[in-house]
Amino acid sequence: MNVEITAADPAEVEADVLVLPAGGVHVRDLDARFDGRLARAAADADPVAMLPVAGELRARRVAVVRFEADPEPLRTAAAQAVRAARGGRVAWALDDWVPMALYRQAQAVVDGAVLGSYDAGRWKSAPARAGVDAFVVCGADEKEHVEIATRTELVARWTNVARELVDGPPNVVTPTALAERASTFPGLQVEVLDPVANGLTALAAVGGSSAAPPQLIVLRHEPAGATTTPRLALVGKAVTFDAGGYFLKPQSDIVRQKGDMAGGAAVLAAMAAIAELELPLAVVGVVAACENMIGPGAIRPSDVITTAAGLTVEVTNPDAEGRLILADALWYARRLAATHVIDLATLTGAMRAGMGDLFGGVFGNDDNWRDVVVDAGTAVGDYAWPWPMHARYQRLIESRVADLKNTSGRPYGYPIVAATFLERFAGEGPWAHVDMLGPALLDDDRGDAYGEGATGYGVRLLVEVASRLAQAVRRGASREENSLEAFARQQSEDDD
């Protein structure tokens, strides 16, 4: 989808569909040309009303869209308008009725338009529906707004790539297929490691349950001139299908398990977006990819496995495999000299039970770094919420026969226990863990920009964190003695 910015009046824009906010000034200004039909459509829009044009404007049709004057509803309205247009050239009229700066309006509608253009039906035998050729934001100065529109389109486009990977059938999106797709991303150095040959013993143990070999996918963005510190690592869980192993999942849950690689998909797409944006920051992506199946090589309850970090783990639950493969991935990320780490994983069903399908939960060994991640997600629409950690949770993963166990066996605190386990492998330096099971793959249409299915949750969050960290480096905050405190303070000032 091409995105264009023009200062032209909406009435003069060539388009197949011109979109007008129902409560805005353009509906009132143009209503006389339509003999009151625009005002009546605005009253009836639920949420979109489409009108033919018979010479009143240069557009062929007008879509009147009703929404609340807020960034999230604005993003949703743009997605709904694009879907209603069903292709062609769509123009959106920015409106002073919306109590937001024009650049924020442009950012929201471009984001929504690109997300709304996504079609999960690429595996249908019939051709997919025609997408929108161009999205035109009118009523905005090109010099002032083209950069933000271009950046927003880029990140949303890669978010749709993550959605495609998560929506993809597990017989197609295998660990090997993920690695092959990553190798096509421009601007990145990509290395695919065999876990067995490289001592990634926990990943090898989980992946040994499947005929599909496990992979560790390593992506590097190392632009010329970037400082050696900070060095950001993005770590993703990519279990391309999770049967639960010998703790086989029930039918109601197993049908969703192609989505258990959503964290890894977000890392892959975010790395591609960071490379295309040419952010002046060293960033590495580490994605642990495998299947968790039942078979002769599957891990058993009470097995003890040795992780790449050297710690031994008693497997009390073979369906808590994500934290096992992340243990090796986190260890490897620190080996790559990462100073700041974020991992993303569809890790616990309890997070979805507690937070629903809108928020991810964020844990961290440093409150400032955790808050940076939360604030970045909230700013871009990947909603996140801080969760607590405490040293007393450590006793819940103590094992009689190994260094630790992968679950507590207690009927409470599942997300915190999982984060506590990961913290043992997070190494020195700031680390944050995002448990994103709820918003990664939607069972129902929430009435927003995504519809049913994959959302690409985490891509925009990760790109925003990387962008803010790069900006902090340019300002010199990362060289201060208390760099994280300075970084968090700087973000708070910017948000204000």
Residues known to be catalytic: 249, 323
Q: How far, in Å, CA of 43 to CA of 46, rounded?
A: 9
Q: How far, in Å, CA of 20 to CA of 66, rounded?
A: 9
Cβ atoms 127, 57 nearer than 8 A: no
Q: How far, in Å, CA of 444 to CA of 446, rounded?
A: 6
Q: 276-315 burial, b for 16+ CB within 10 Å, e for fewer?
A: bbebebbbbbbbbbbbbbeeeebbeeeeebebbbebbbbb
Helix (H/G/I), strand (E/B), else coil: 256: coil
Which tokens in the block code for residue 214? 């496990």
Cα distances from 41 to residues 6, 10, 20, 220, 293, in angstroms, run 26, 17, 11, 51, 54
Cβ atoms 231, 335 nearer than 8 A: no
For residue 64, which of 77, 79, 54, 55 has the smallest C-alpha distance?
Answer: 77
Cβ atoms 281, 195 nearer than 8 A: no
Q: How far, in Å, CA of 95 to CA of 83, rounded?
A: 21
Count of H-run helices and E-run strands, the chain: 16, 19
- DSSP E strand boundaries for 374-476: 384-386, 404-405, 431-435, 441-442, 453-454
Place of tokens 């599957």: 298
Which tokens in the block code for residue 407? 């679950």
CA 469, 474, 480, 485 dihedral sign is negative
Which H or E run includes 367? helix 367-380
Identify the burial level of 485 via C-beta atoms within 10 angstroms of its C-beta, where 0-12 means exposed, 13-18 middle and 19 or more buried: middle
Strand pairing partners for 51? 62
Q: How far, in Å, CA of 441 to CA of 265, rounded?
A: 12
